[in-house]
Structure 1
């Protein structure tokens, strides 16, 4: 792959990571984490690692944000 494409993908991942870190609300952070997972999937695809990209797509984009959202919902329900 082109070095420019790799640099662009790495820059997007760095921006996405900063967005996740600086998002204060946990529910919004889960959505941002999902977008970050998609960016990591793109990076792994650019680096020609389709098996890692597929794993990241399933785990990092869907399962982890879902678990965070369910945890936030359960905590909010207990505090009511």
Structure 2
């Protein structure tokens, strides 16, 4: 499974907000307790994987298997 890449985040201290971007484009903004929980996860694990998971932009590894399924083959 390819590793996620191209993610970055900026923490804005005054509003306790975190903006996650992918290849320079803002994807999501987290505020309050969600931002705190995100920052804890980034500090404890693989930052790229955590950001991909929080934005919903990650592959689950089953796309190729689903493509080969008979119902997805077409007529």
Q: Fold conserved (TM > 0.5)?
A: no
Higher RCO, 1 or 2 (CA under 8 Å, sep at least 6)? Answer: 1
Using structure 1 for the length normalisation, give the TM-score. Answer: 0.31
Which has a greater percent of helix? Answer: 1
Task: Tell me the TM-score normalized by structure 2.
Answer: 0.32
Work out which of the two has the higher radius of gyration on C-alpha atoms and give 1 or 2: 2
Q: Which has the higher strand share?
A: 2
